[in-house]
Amino acid sequence: MLGADGGLRWRGLLEARNQHPVVLPKAIYWINVLATDGDNRSLGIVVIAIVALTVGLVALLARSTPGIGRARRAALVLGASFLLFAPNGAWNFVKAMSGTAWLTANLLTVAAVLADHHRRRGLAAGLAVLASISYGTGLAAWPALAVAAVVRHGRHAPRRAWPIVVAGVVTLGWYAAWYRSSTFPRGPSGGRLAVVERTLAGIGSLPGDGRAAVPLGIVALGLAAAALAVGLRRGQAAACAPWVAILAYGTAAMALVATSRAESFQARYTSISALTWLGVTGLVLVAVPRPRRWAALVPAPLVVAATLATTYGPPSLDADTRRHDLLAVAMQIGVADGNRVGGGLHPFPVMTDRLRARGH
């Protein structure tokens, strides 16, 4: 993104990073460079704000969902806060550039679901487009909105949600053409069953330590299917639709990860798993008949498990933090040459010269 003179390369905004279009995150990075010389701590504050906004959107979604009373709504919002700020997801806050990409796509997708829930289809389509150019997982916003439309409108979904259909076809078509015209490394082998297994493992990794991830993923999707069936039988399609969309986004995004990565239970994927479980929780709260005071406790076991699970959390990031601290010292005393950052793509002293051009 930075040129040899330390300035912004405008074409760099449109270049892929790790097979992802990251236009909006790169714009945020550049603003951070201008405001704080690219300080990771200030970008970390931005990431925290992005997640807080996501929780706020979940609160608005819960508030506008028929059948979710005050107690259930409070439980759902608290659950969202604990899940999205779970220790296993510390990667996205410590490595704030990564978190900016993942979590911006999440935020925009939840915003699109909320807009769609309020029948603002054009706004929902625009937000989904922005999610799609924030990170590759943002493409999962389109199947999420499609599933919500089918649940809400049945066979009339294409006509009722035509702005979303048109924007989705154009965006996915552009992405497919761009992807075919680019050279990317091949994904892991193993076939479709391996992709399904990795998807389930990614979903189930949040509330555990990875040893029972696949069974937990099956439990999550099975519970969601049962809750959706109950909700539809009780005529609550409109209430189920947004939570099905959140669930579909998380599942589809995890499937995208599983097609290109051998391990789907890494710390940077925690937010995807969290949104999947949040969709499950929302569906269960809609399905449980009122009045059932105990229903407000539905998120409690998941919240406790996710909060206590630290398999991929802060301890695993300590070594990276120390390495970056040592690299900063090496840069200051002029012995950083030979080091590489960004997955080995950016060597020193090239990066040293660019940083000095920025005034470091």
Tens of pLDDT, residue by residue over 133-177, are: 999 899 999 999 999 999 999 888 888 899 999 999 999 998 888
The structure tokens listed for 319 are 């070594």
Please report whether residue 141 resides in a domain.
yes
- The pLDDT-based confidence of 62 (bands split at 50, 70, 90) is very high
77-101 pLDDT, tens digit per residue, is: 988 998 898 887 888 888 888 899 9
pLDDT on residue 330? 73
Query: At residue 350, does pLDDT exceed 70?
Result: no
Residue 110: give the domain boundaries. 42-312
Residue ranges in the chain assigned as alpha helix (H): 23-36, 40-63, 70-84, 91-94, 96-117, 121-132, 141-153, 157-160, 162-180, 191-204, 213-233, 237-260, 270-287, 300-308, 314-333, 350-357
Tell me how far apart the terminal alpha carbons of the chain are, to the nearest angstrom.
17
Please report whether residue 25 resides in a domain.
no
113-137 pLDDT, tens digit per residue, is: 999 999 999 999 999 999 999 998 9
Please report whether residue 37 resides in a domain.
no
Angle at 74 between CA 217 and CA 281, to 5 degrees: 15
Give me the number of domains the chain comprises: 1
Q: Cα–Cα distance between 216 and 148 in angstroms, integer?
A: 24
- The pLDDT-based confidence of 307 (bands split at 50, 70, 90) is low
280-303 pLDDT, tens digit per residue, is: 999 988 888 766 666 667 777 767
Please report whether residue 93 resides in a domain.
yes
Please report whether residue 331 resides in a domain.
no
Average pLDDT for the chain:
83
Please report whether residue 11 resides in a domain.
no
217-251 pLDDT, tens digit per residue, is: 998 999 999 999 999 999 999 999 999 999 999 99
Please report whether residue 15 resides in a domain.
no
User: DSSP for 191-238?
Assistant: HHHHHHHHHHHHHHTTTS-STTHHHHHHHHHHHHHHHHHHHHHTT-HH
102 SS3 class: helix
Query: At residue 203, does pLDDT exceed 60?
Result: yes
Please report whether residue 263 resides in a domain.
yes
